[in-house]
Amino acid sequence: MPFRINSIKSYFPKKKENLNSLKFKNLNKNKLLKASGINERYVSSKNENVITLSLQSAKKILNAKIKKQLGFLFFVSQTSPYKFPSVSCILQHELDLPGDIFAVDINMGCSGYIYALKLANSFMHNKKKYGLIICSDTYTKYIDKNNRSCKPIFSDASTSTLLEMSKKKFFKSFDFGVNGGGQKDLMLSNNSNNMYMNGAKLAIFTLNVIPDFIKNFIKKNKIKKNKIKFFVLHQASKYVCDNIRKKLNFEKKYFLNNYNKFGNTVSSSIPLLLQEAMNKKKIKKDDTIIACGFGVGLSWGAVEIKW
C-alpha cells in the first residue's frame, strides 16, 4: 500500500539572524540580498541540536493514536551530535514510540527529503497505518563567522512529515541523480568546524543539471504542463531558484518560495514549503506538484505528487 502526506509540522531554533549580523569586510548587503534573497536565518544555540529540534517538530504531530500505528521513522540529517547511536533510536525513546518501529538514520542533505519519501513509499511494513520522516539539520554549527559563502545562506530547522497509507497513488513518480564528481563543492570533514562551499561551482552544476533533469522528468512521466500547479524546489538561494525557473520557462506563480524568511534549511526546505502551502490551502485535492531537491553530494531527486 502506498503512502500519502497527512501533515507537516516544523520547529526553528529560538535565535534568528538577519543581514546585520554579518560582519564581513566590505560587505555590500544590497548586492548580497539581491543574489541570495535571504533576509533571515535561524541559528541553533549550544543547547539546541538536531535531537532537541526534532523532538519539538515531532511532538507537534504525534499523539497517542498515531504513535500506536507508527510503522517507521526515517531521520534525515547530516549534523547529528553523535557518530553513534543513530538519532532515530534516541528519538524512539524520547518520543515514547513503539519498540517495533523500523527506525533508521539517512545521511543525506538538500536532496534528502525526496530520497526519504521514495524509501517510505516503497516500504512494506506490518500493516501499520503511519510513518514519520523527520528532517533536521544544524549546518550553522559548522560555519565560521568569517565564512562568507556559507554564513549568509544556511539556516537551521526541523520538519516532521506524517505519512499515512493511501489507497490512491499519491507519489506518482520519482527520479534520482548523483554526481560524486562534485563531492568537494560542499563538504565538511569530521575534524573541521567550518564547512566549505564553492558557491559558484554549485550554482553552475545546479543550473546545468537541474532544469534539464526536471524537463526530462516531466517528459518521461508524461506530465501535462498545464496540469502542474506548483514546483517545489529546494531553496538554495534566490539566484539558483530564479534561474531554474527561467530555464524551465514557467511563470513565478508556479513556484513556492521561503528562502527569504527561512534561508537554506537543507533537507527541511521542501517540507517547509509544502507545510505553508497546506496551511494556506494553496494545494487542493488532485493538484499536481513537482518537488525537486538538489545539492550536497552532489545528489538530486524529483517526485511528482498528485495531491
> Does residue 1 touch its own copies according to CB under 8 A?
no
Among the listed residues 54, 88, 136, 264, the single contact to its own copies using CB under 8 A: 88
Q: Which of 33, 66, 104, 207 binds its own copies (CB under 8 A)?
A: 104
Count other Cβ atoms within 10 Å, centred on residue 104.
Answer: 16
Q: Is 84 in the site for its own copies (CB under 8 A)?
A: yes
Closest approach, Cβ 193 to its own copies, in A, equals 9
Strands 130-137 and 70-76: parallel
Residue 194: CB atoms within 10 Å: 14
Residue 52 found at the interface with its own copies (CB under 8 A)? no
Distance CA 280, CA 131 (A): 24
Rg of the chain over all Cα atoms, to the nearest angstrom: 18
Of the pair 168, 180, the CB lying nearest its own copies is at 180
The one among 29, 100, 144, 286 contacting its own copies by CB under 8 A: 100
Q: Which stretch binds its own copies (CB under 8 A): 104-112, 163-171, 228-236, 246-254?
A: 104-112
Q: Verify binding: residue 181, its own copies, rule CB under 8 A.
A: yes
Residues contacting its own copies: total by CB under 8 A: 53
Whole-angstrom Cα distance, residue 253 to residue 182? Answer: 32
Helix (H) or strand (E) holding 37: none
46 binds its own copies (CB under 8 A): no
Query: Longest C-alpha distance within the chain, in Å?
Result: 59
Query: What is d(CA 291, CA 166) in angstroms, rounded to the nearest whole number?
Result: 19
| Of residues 150-179, those binding its own copies (CB under 8 A) | 175-179
Check residue 86 for interaction with its own copies (CB under 8 A).
yes
Closest alpha carbon to 102 in 76, 71, 132, 75: 71
CA atoms within 13 A on the CB side of 100: 6
Interface of this chain with its own copies, residues 191 to 250, rule: CB under 8 A: 195
Residues found near its own copies in the complex (CB under 8 A)? 78-86, 88-94, 97, 99-109, 115, 118-119, 122-124, 142, 175-181, 183, 186-190, 195, 296-299
